[in-house]
Amino acid sequence: MSAGSGLPQELVAALEAFAARGRVLVALDFDGVLAPIVDDPSAARALPAASAALARLVTTTDVALVSGRALDDLRACAQPPAGVVLVGGHGTQSSLDDAGGAALTPAQQDLLARLVEELDALAAGREGVHVERKPMSAVLHTRRAARDVAAEVTELALAGPGALPGVHALRGKEVVELGAVELGKGAGLRRLREQLSAQGPGVAAVLFAGDDVTDEDAFAVLSPADGDVTVKVGGGESTAAWRVGSPQDVAVLLERLAGLRER
């Protein structure tokens, strides 16, 4: 560990190299990364230290939050500093887009309505299970359910509505998200990098930190060999090059990076 930082020395070295690369993008998942996981998703808030570090970092660096949450929900819970770009709906929505994301075709609208209806039917009568509606997807939440109930309804959702033609399914921590359009943080992150690079100097490198299995898609589009930095938060298998233990460690990482970029 690096003395006084709480971060592995090798990660600190990677941050120092990243900070020196000119125009860079720092992209972060929200839940489990900036904010501790809570039973009620609407109650999630970034740690004060993380919010303070973001406010410093955005003055020198492109910063984005990349989340599975719908854009308005992400904005309400994250309460980000001015200048932070928001990418919601697993890459399908961006605050850089005039309308927040692409519109659904009539066929996709019909498919989404069917997904909501079938997930609602699965949630009915199962305590602790609820369905969240997003502009392009529907999400089955099971965090507050008994473990046997959560396992059963998850498998039913994936084998039922999740297997319908045209449905894009993502399985995360205690959630199943079924989209009427292609979902994926990797595609959203790649598109964001292209959008930012088109506005001026190209983005030389990207740092992405995430805690969920859905974040592996974003890790996969980045290349540590080319200067990108990938950070897994918490336990579980991951392809990320680096790992930290908690949102508190992420706040330390962001503080360290903000200081390096201010030099």
Three-state secondary structure along 214-246? HHHHHHHCCCHHHCCEEEEECCCCCCCCEEECC
d(CA 230, CA 88): 19
**Do 3 and 11 meet the contact criterion of CB atoms below 8 Å apart?**
no
Q: Other CB atoms closer than 10 Å to residue 1's CB: what's the count?
A: 10
Start-to-end CA distance of the chain, whole Å, equals: 23
Q: Which residues pair with 231 in a beta bridge?
A: 209, 242
Catalytic residue among 29, 62, 211, 217: 29
Active site residue 29: yes
Instruction: Give the position of tokens 């233990």.
Output: 245
d(CA 89, CA 72): 10
d(CA 169, CA 5): 39
Catalytic residues: 29
